[in-house]
């Protein structure tokens, strides 16, 4: 697998000290950690909002070496906590303006608009003011706009934090669909380890460095370590770990029906 992103000995203020990790192309990576571990700051650094020299490479080249216009083409960043003011009075106008910046012919613009409205389930919101819709719809709109330029990596900061359970599931399904269809790499911070379970690779930040990294379930099973830094285990993982301590099950089970079946065997 081709390497997309490489962070080497990142040091920044009192948040990171020689923090290093790599991201393979086409992967969905989640980054988690306790409160104030620097997740949002890390996304700002990766997205180029906070300049750091000679530390971060994208596709083999340090990010500060990219021309600004090229950087905007190959990366996208969504940070919901930033104050976002949409420019137009309707979702339709907002999308069409963004599409106009990337598509040349009228036919391309019309087809792109139809595809976005369908894929992101925005049909009934087209005439709504984008500043007045729910957080869920705002985030989908922001992601859609970021992906118009067909970037190679999308940086997302805790986009599911304020969403309801059903919306979180739909958001992850959307991201997985985008990943599959476009081959885009996704780097997303999250304080919710249930979300992390849906990713390809999980990194845990603690004490300014990467504490743990690997396949999500194998990391999340390390309950003692995660509890110490203030992370709450997903219910099914927590239950499975406790049952394994009593030799009632042999491995972590994420499906409640299968877990019950295993207990009664």
Q: Which domains does the chain have, with CATH numbers?
A: 3-85+150-222 (3.40.50.300), 86-130 (no CATH), 234-265 (no CATH)
Instruction: Confirm if 86 and 130 have CB atoms less than 8 A apart.
Output: yes
Instruction: Confirm if 8 and 210 have CB atoms less than 8 A apart.
Output: no
pLDDT for the residue 265: 65
DSSP-derived pairing of the beta strands 201-206 and 28-33: parallel
- Give the integer Cα–Cα distance in Å for 159 and 75: 17
Query: Tokens representing 148?
Result: 């118009």
- Give the integer Cα–Cα distance in Å for 133 and 144: 15
pLDDT for the residue 260: 67
- Give the integer Cα–Cα distance in Å for 196 and 168: 12
Residue ranges in the chain modelled with pLDDT below 50: none
Q: Which residues of 66-102 are buried (b: 16+ CB within 10 A; e: fewer)?
A: beeeebeebbbbbbbeeeeebeeeebbbbbbebbeee
pLDDT for the residue 192: 93
Measured CA to CA in angstroms, residue 192 lies from 24, 54, 61, 261 at distances of 22, 31, 32, 27
Indicate the SS3 state at residue 40: helix
- Give the integer Cα–Cα distance in Å for 185 and 178: 10
- Give the integer Cα–Cα distance in Å for 168 and 149: 25
pTM value is 0.91
Query: Tokens representing 265?
Result: 């065997």
Instruction: Confirm if 229 and 236 have CB atoms less than 8 A apart.
Output: no
Angle at 35 between CA 219 and CA 207, to 5 degrees: 65
pLDDT for the residue 1: 64
pLDDT for the residue 263: 74
């Amino acid at each position: 697998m081709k390497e997309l992103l490489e962070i080497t000995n990142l040091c920044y203020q009192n948040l990171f000290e020689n923090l290093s990790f790599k991201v393979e192309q086409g992967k969905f990576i989640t980054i988690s950690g306790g409160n104030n571990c620097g997740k949002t700051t890390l996304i700002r650094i990766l997205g180029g909002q906070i300049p750091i020299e000679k530390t971060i490479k994208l596709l083999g080249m340090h990010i500060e070496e990219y021309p600004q216009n090229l950087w905007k083409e190959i990366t996208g960043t969504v940070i919901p906590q930033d104050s976002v003011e949409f420019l137009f009075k309707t979702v339709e106008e907002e999308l069409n303006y963004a599409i106009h910046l990337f598509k040349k012919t009228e036919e391309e613009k019309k087809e792109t608009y139809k595809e976005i409205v369908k894929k992101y389930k925005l049909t009934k919101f087209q005439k709504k003011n984008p500043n007045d819709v729910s957080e869920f719809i705002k985030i989908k709109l922001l992601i859609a706009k970021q992906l118009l330029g067909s970037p190679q990596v999308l940086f997302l900061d805790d986009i599911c934090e304020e969403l309801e359970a059903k919306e979180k599931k739909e958001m992850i399904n959307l991201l997985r669909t985008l990943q599959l269809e476009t081959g885009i790499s996704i780097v997303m911070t999250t304080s919710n380890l249930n979300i992390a379970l849906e990713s390809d690779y999980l990194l845990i930040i603690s004490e300014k460095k990467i504490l743990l990294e690997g396949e999500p379930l194998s990391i999340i099973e390390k309950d003692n370590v995660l509890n110490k830094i203030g992370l709450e285990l997903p219910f099914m993982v927590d239950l499975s770990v406790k049952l394994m301590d009593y030799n009632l099950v042999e491995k972590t089970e994420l499906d409640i029906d299968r877990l019950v079946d295993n207990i009664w065997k």
